[in-house]
Amino acid sequence: MIKKSLAIAFLLLLAGFAFWNFAMHKEAEIGIEKGEKAPDFTLPSLKGGEDVSLSDFKGKKVLLNFWATWCKPCRTEMPDMQQLQNEHRDIAVLAVNFTSSEKNHKAVEAFADSLALTYPIVLDQEGINAKYEIFSYPTTFIINESGIIEDIVLGTMTKKEMEEKLGL
Instruction: Categorize the per-residue pLDDT at 165 as very low, low, confident or very high, splitting at 50, 70 and 90.
Output: very high
Residue 118: pLDDT over 70: yes
Q: Is 8 helix (H, G, I), strand (E, B) or coil?
A: helix
Work out the percent of the chain whose per-residue pLDDT is above 90: 74
- How much is the pLDDT for 12? 52
Mean pLDDT in residue range 22-40: 79
Instruction: Categorize the per-residue pLDDT at 109 as very low, low, confident or very high, splitting at 50, 70 and 90.
Output: very high
Instruction: Categorize the per-residue pLDDT at 48 as very low, low, confident or very high, splitting at 50, 70 and 90.
Output: confident
Residue 93 · residue 120 · CB < 8 Å: yes
- How much is the pLDDT for 23? 47
Domain ranges within the chain, ordered by starting residue: 28-166
Which range (22-26, 52-56, 64-68, 138-142) has the least confidence?
22-26
The CATH homologous superfamily for domain 28-166 is Glutaredoxin (3.40.30.10)
Alpha helix locations (H) across 25-117?
A: 72-87, 105-114
Task: Report whether the peptide linkage leading into residue 39 is cis, meaning its omega lies within 30 degrees of zero.
Answer: no
The model scores a pTM over 0.85: no
